[in-house]
Amino acid sequence: MFRNQYDNDVTTWSPQGRLHQVEYAMEAVKQGSATVGLKNSDTYAILLALKRSTSELSAHQKKIIPLDSHVGMSIAGLTADARILSRYMRNECTNEHYAHDQPLPINRLVTRMGLKMQTSTQRYDRRPYGVGLLIAGFDSKGPHVYQTCPSANYFDCKAMSIGARSQSARTYLEKNLDKFANCTLNELVRHGLLALRECLPNDMELNSKNVSLAIVGKDHPFTVYDDQKVEQFLALITEAERKGKSSGPSEQDRVMETEP
């Protein structure tokens, strides 16, 4: 994408019918480190994320945010924007417990998110949220993985990956899609880790410092596994499998769909 005279604010259409500011916001998602979400047919949905640290002195940036005991999300993009959205989503979940004494159905949560995010794509005094989310949850209709974009579009996914170098992970997920429905929890985690390692930069490998895992499912409230706790899951893949493939050419630019 090149700079043009139609990309100054989000309330200006380009002659091709595009909102460039929204598309630029989608680029911000690709700057964030990779995260993967997948689920089986009836019992579990999981999220995996590659954590980055700005320096050796600071801790790795948290990527997975629990929202309620039956739902949580992982983020790619502007962390600060993600925190605002997580505050809104937690509020919606709590309100549902207060008024209806029920967990908020995931599709309803995501619909409300879409409505909230859309307003910032249509006002001159706001900017789109620069963060992509993978929302994993379990409700009366089973496990769900949803993807949201800064364009306020949301997608119900069987499996998904977003963030830097995530195309490789998506390729892995597409290749193995038929297997996920019947996977046990451990098999799902193994697939997730193998997908995640496709997104590693050169000379890095998966370890307990940079992998974050979250599991939610039937009789399993949303739980995040970091550091020590993720070791038991890393043991599901061999030493060799922890290393990434050498990173290929950087992610191709592609035209983002801003139409639903």
Half-sphere exposure of 117 (CA within 13 A, CB side): 28
- The interface region with another protein, picked from 74-82, 102-110, 172-180, 222-230 by CB under 8 A, is 102-110
Residues 213-232 that bind another protein (CB under 8 A): none
Closer to another protein by Cβ: residue 105 or 221: 105
Nearest of 147, 150, 155 to residue 128 by alpha carbon: 150
Asked if residue 91 binds another protein (CB under 8 A), the reply is no
Asked if residue 178 binds another protein (CB under 8 A), the reply is no
Burial 47-58 (b: 16+ CB within 10 A, else e): bbbbbeeeeeee
What whole-number distance in Å separates Cα of residue 191 and Cα of residue 69?
24
What whole-number distance in Å separates Cα of residue 236 and Cα of residue 175?
20
- The interface region with another protein, picked from 34-42, 55-63, 103-111, 119-127 by CB under 8 A, is 103-111
Residues 22-81 that bind another protein (CB under 8 A): none
Residues 135-164 that bind another protein (CB under 8 A): 140-141
Among 102, 182, 186, 250, binds another protein (CB under 8 A): 102
Closer to another protein by Cβ: residue 14 or 111: 111
Sign of the C-alpha dihedral computed for residues 176, 182, 187 and 188 taken in this order: positive
Asked if residue 98 binds another protein (CB under 8 A), the reply is yes
Closer to another protein by Cβ: residue 66 or 105: 105
| 230 beta partners | none
Closest distance between another protein and the C-beta of residue 13, in Å? 28
Going from the C-alpha of 89 to that of each of 83, 98, 259, the distances in angstroms are: 10, 14, 24
Closest distance between another protein and the C-beta of residue 224, in Å? 27
Closer to another protein by Cβ: residue 92 or 187: 92
Residue type, 83: R
Among 101, 125, 178, 203, binds another protein (CB under 8 A): 101
- The interface region with another protein, picked from 75-83, 107-115, 185-193, 195-203 by CB under 8 A, is 107-115
- The interface region with another protein, picked from 24-32, 75-83, 96-104, 170-178 by CB under 8 A, is 96-104
Asked if residue 107 binds another protein (CB under 8 A), the reply is yes
User: Which residues sit at the interface with another protein, rule CB under 8 A?
Assistant: 98-102, 105, 107-108, 111, 140-141
